[in-house]
Amino acid sequence: MSLDVDVRHQQGGFTLQAKFQSDGRLTALFGRSGAGKSTLINVIGGLIHPVRGRIVVNGRILFDSTQRISIPRHRRRIGCVFQEGRLFPHLNVRQNLLFGRWFTPIARRVTRLDDVVSLLGIEQLLGRRPVTLSGGEKQRVAIGRALLADPELLLMDEPLASLDDERKAEIYPYIERLRDDGHVPIVFVTHSVAEIARLATSIVVLTDGQVTASGPAADILRNSSLFSQFGPAEAGAVIDAHVLAQDDEFSLTVLQAKSGTLTVPRLARTIGASLRLRLRARDVMVSLEKPQALSALNVLPGHIVALETSGASVDVTIDCAGDLVVARLTRKSVHDLGLRPGLAVHAIIKGVAFEGDAAAVPPASSP
């Protein structure tokens, strides 16, 4: 998969100058309100014509100002999902879904209605009108409608922003499934660090119309300076794991990551299911010795690979068998412990965040 964007556009006093490449299955566009995320989505989707530039999706040129190529919007084969589902109120769910393929030539209609309905779990909703659906159900139908157009790119502009946490949690697994099916690249606009930590394979950070960082999700999320605008609490590491075991006696779930096992309050996942964990830098402590009598369940051995000072705090990056974990410590602690690159340490994980099915291990100091 590939997405290659290099565009410049002027609207009023705002200049969008965005250049990035992504090979990710789900590319998150991330930035403050007014950073230009929607403008960029509209440029990619063909709603806005940039002054100049080039947009190439999986080798197909959608726009190239030097070659004077600009594929019209209806021929870009792009599916869109917006914050408010924008379903047709007078059509039932089945009719709304089928409307998605109306503009797709018959020869290109590959996706089957039944497959989309079961992928999104909306079998029970087919005869109902949008007004009778919950916010989460409407968004699932909107996603289904976009998929049935057999798009070559799916643009999702804050598709979950109007939903509460419970409804969001309802939709995440479907978006993950779409991402992991790998049939269609997804560009996803969001303000939420937790959302990109869970969903993104690549991240593009926009600031005042410029791309200030882009790359694989795990690399970008580790860089706390990028997330300073959203509060220092959010920065941290993202690691992949799968469910190794369920502990019924203590109602815990044991996860296997590259760096070792992590035990968290019970998650409703099957053995083998893969998931992403977010280890916030503020939830990680560092010990020189292997801690013995400690209530924290999760201790990962590793060695320090980087120290980055910002004011009174220092982000210490620890390589734990290939998983890079970040701990935010005071400068004083770093000095007192003599922390330096190469030093063997233990990362004590006080909390693990999962968007949707929140889980946190007890703090190290609790009995």
Ligand X SMILES: Nc1ncnc2c1ncn2[C@@H]1O[C@H](COP(=O)(O)OP(=O)(O)OP(=O)(O)O)[C@@H](O)[C@H]1O
Residues of the shown chain interacting with ligand X in the complex, contacts defined by CB under 6 A: 11-12, 14, 31, 33-39
Contact criterion met (CB below 8 Å) for 55 and 42 = no
For residue 78, what are the contacts with CB-CB under 8 A and spacing of at least 6? Answer: 44, 45, 46, 151, 152, 153, 154, 155
Q: Are 14 and 36 in contact (CB under 8 A)?
A: yes
Q: How far apart are the first and last CA of the chain?
A: 49
Q: C-beta of 323: minimal distance to ligand X in Å?
A: 31
Q: Could you tell me the smallest distance in angstroms from the CB atom of residue 48 to ligand X?
A: 9
Residue number with CB closer to ligand X (43 or 327): 43
Shortest Cβ 207–ligand X spacing (Å):
10
Nearer to ligand X, 6 or 157 (CB): 157
The strand pairing partners of 353, in sequence order, are 278
Least distance CB 64 / ligand X (angstroms): 22
Q: Smaller CB distance to ligand X: residue 139 or 259?
A: 139
Q: How far is CA 316 from the centre of its chain?
A: 24
Nearest approach, Cβ of residue 100 and ligand X (Å): 24
Measured from the CB atom, is 14 or 88 closer to ligand X? 14
Rounded CA gap, 146 and 221, in Å?
29
Q: Tell me what percent of the chain is helix, strand and coil, each rounded to the nearest 5.
A: 25, 35, 35
**Minimum Å distance from CB 228 to ligand X?**
18
Smaller CB separation from ligand X, 39 or 202: 39
DSSP 106: G
The residue among 35 and 353 lying less far from ligand X, judged by its C-beta, is 35
β-bridge partners, 262: 255
Order of strands, sheet of 298-310, starting from the edge strand that comes earlier in the sequence:
284-287, 344-349, 298-310, 313-320, 323-330
- Give 14 or 103: the residue with its C-beta nearer to ligand X: 14
Q: Phi then psi for 24, rounded to 5 degrees?
A: -80, 155
What is the nearest approach in angstroms of ligand X to the Cβ of residue 156? 13
What's the rounded Cα separation, in Å, for the pair 209 and 203? 15
